[in-house]
Homo-oligomer: A and B are copies of this chain.
Amino acid sequence: MDVQTYMHGIGRQARTASRAMARADTATKNRALTVTAQAIERGEAALLAANAKDVAEARHKKLPDAALDRLTLTPKTIAAMADGLMQIVRLPDPIGEISGLSYRPSGIQVGQMRVPLGVVGIIYESRPNVTADAAGLCLKSGNAAILRGGSEALHSNQAIAACVREGLTAAGLPEHAVQVVETSDRAAVGELITMREFVDVIVPRGGKGLIERLLHESRIPMIQHLDGVCHVYIDDKADIDKAIRVADNAKTQRLGVCNAMETLLVARGIAHKILPPLCKIYLDKGIELRGDEAARAIVPEMNPANEQDWYTEYLAAILAVRVVDGLDQAIEHIATYGSKHTDAIVTEDLTRARRFLTEVDSSSVMVNASTRFADGYEYGLGAEIGISTDKLHARGPVGLEGLTSLKYVVFGDGHVRK
């Protein structure tokens, strides 16, 4: 069977299954999730065996250590998958909620009902736990899912998918509600992102290379995430202690995550006070600092920053530092070099805080809080399918609600339009 025929078959089955999923009530969906979680826990040995095959092949192909690390399942990560599914069970079901139902002058009653998107295509790389997470979120939100993980994780993903099928079957839901693409042919992704008749939204979870490819080739709307070039701006009306606490945490609490600060902006009026103690913290923690001239005049240990540094998402122990004249220049810098992900101001000045919130066009804007809070769990969404740096449909962390849409519902009593 050629890849197109295979993928269209999967698409058609997903489309059919999505209609049953849209009708499924909360108890049924929760039962499927619960049985899946139990199957994963009980199936630990089988999952580890399947994963061992993937890891052995990956070793044979000499994958880098970081990739091997992401690929490897352990009893702990397997327990975490099951636990994640049970957390999704405890989230409220978004489907069917009717909001704003009110009478119009014509006599009809109009409201909006929350409904699933339909079929969600998820493209990810080597982490097998995404299979369980994504399946769980799609299932709870009444969608069918087509999962296309990295070929290096195929055995693991098939083993997890078998647990999901067990859950679906136990709850009387169609087994095609969650399908794993079982070919490593890269053309399968090309089909998935262009079969508009079968797929309603694509969620890519992977590196920039993947997303840029999809941006060019996808014919289906995406919930996507590009760079996280996040800023903290320390205003000259900042409280020094808060500024140091927030700027330290934003960079060093965890490196290599999209909501970590990559560029620190400091107002000229406070730079002499804030940079020496703050940079000492960074240097003690092994962070390489790259500053503009004004910053380097204060902290000579900094390397010089060039234009490219302001655009860079290091995801590493490197921080760019720039001294700015004040709020206007900070906002301008973020507009020029930022990636509309997450940006924070530290200030005690109300008017400046309000301006920063309004004028910085990012998916999360913060006052006196660390950029590291930009996260579905921290925002109370429960699990997240990703963080969107797009503007349409969903911005910022995307949870169950991001996998839904609103349709209008109208009630009349034989009403007609005049």
Which chain A residues have a beta carbon within 8 Å of chain B's beta carbons?
Answer: 19, 22-23, 96, 102, 104, 106, 108, 110, 113, 115, 117-118, 200-201, 215-216, 219, 221, 239, 241-242, 245-246, 248-250, 253, 335, 344, 346, 357-359, 361-370, 372-374, 378-380, 390-393, 395-397, 405-417
**Whose C-beta in chain B lies nearest to the C-beta of A357?**
B409
Residue pair B392, A23 in contact (C-beta under 8 Å): no
Q: Roughly how many angstroms separate A143 CA and B169 CA in the complex, as a whole number? A: 49
**Whose C-beta in chain B lies nearest to the C-beta of A200?**
B391
Q: Roughly how many angstroms separate A115 CA and B359 CA in the complex, as a whole number? A: 10
Q: Roughly how many angstroms separate A370 CA and B248 CA in the complex, as a whole number? A: 60
Q: Roughly how many angstroms separate A76 CA and B56 CA in the complex, as a whole number? A: 77
**Whose C-beta in chain B lies nearest to the C-beta of A359?**
B23
Query: Nearest Cβ in chain B — how far from A124, in angstroms?
Result: 20
The interface residues of chain A, by DSSP majority, are classed as mixed
Contact of A362 among B373, B396, B407 (CB under 8 A): B407
Q: Roughly how many angstroms separate A106 CA and B358 CA in the complex, as a whole number? A: 24
**Chain B residues near A357 (CB, 8 Å)?**
113, 409
In the complex, the 5 A-B pairs of residues with the closest C-beta atoms, listed nearest first? A369-B412, A242-B414, A249-B416, A372-B417, A366-B410
Residue pair A411, B96 in contact (C-beta under 8 Å): no
Contact of A407 among B108, B118, B365 (CB under 8 A): B365
**Chain B residues near A410 (CB, 8 Å)?**
344, 364-367, 369, 373-374
Query: Nearest Cβ in chain B — how far from A254, in angstroms?
Result: 8
Q: With A201-B392, A221-B221 given, is the CB distance from A412 to B117 under 8 Å? A: no
Residue pair B368, A414 in contact (C-beta under 8 Å): yes
